[in-house]
Amino acid sequence: MSEGRTRERADAARNRRAILDATRKLLAEHGAEGVTMDRVAAVAGVGKGTIFHRFGSRAGLLHELVAEPAVALMEAVSSGPPPLGPGAPAAERLSAYFAAMTDLVIDNVELVVAYNAVPPHPRREEFHAFWAAHVTAMLAEARPDLDAEAVGALLLASLGGELASRMVRAGEADRLRAAMRDLVASVLRAPGPA
């Protein structure tokens, strides 16, 4: 491989990172509505054509940003240290997962809002199936008396809807964390004898 091709790849990688970082910065400063390709290009120090060449569209750029934390969380759940990763009791893993997912939503709220306005991510079904399988398995182990699939879907929906984003945007991130922690804990508590 020639040195020119190596440098080209390094430049492309730097540009990719600069574009993603610029988009995150703009999301944090201006919200989902304030992210335009022109602004991203100016903050990243690249031409708008570079963004389109790399990501194809605003949706492609947002898809890339959504995938980064989602893939990182999937890896942590699959092979990271306990309690999020394997090796901890199911109830602890479930609590750790929902704490991490809540933080992911909070840390990326403007991205989530922007993402919800574009066509679905090409890996959306894969991501959702992974979360559903994990939550269902942990619930089935921790609370075999429950319909783990239905209860897990309801728990997941509580973070995927408009309420979670609205709470974070209103400055209620700590309230959302506490509510999710209480909700998961209440599901994990087995009912006493009747």
Distance of CA 126 to the CA centre of its chain: 13
Instruction: Give tens-digit pLDDT for 23-64.
Output: 999 988 988 888 889 999 999 999 999 999 999 988 889 888
Q: Give the CA distances from residue 105 to residues 63, 80, 98, in Å, rounded to whole numbers and listed in that order.
A: 15, 20, 10
Q: Say if pTM beats, i.e. exceeds, 0.75.
A: yes
Tokens matching residue 167: 């709470």
**pLDDT the model gives residue 6:** 52
Instruction: Give tens-digit pLDDT for 71-97.
Output: 999 999 999 999 999 999 999 999 999
Longest dimension (CA), the chain: 75
Residue matched to tokens 């999710």: 180
Give the confidence band of 121 by pLDDT, cuts at 50, 70, 90: confident
**pLDDT the model gives residue 22:** 94
CA 37/CA 19 separation, integer angstroms:
10
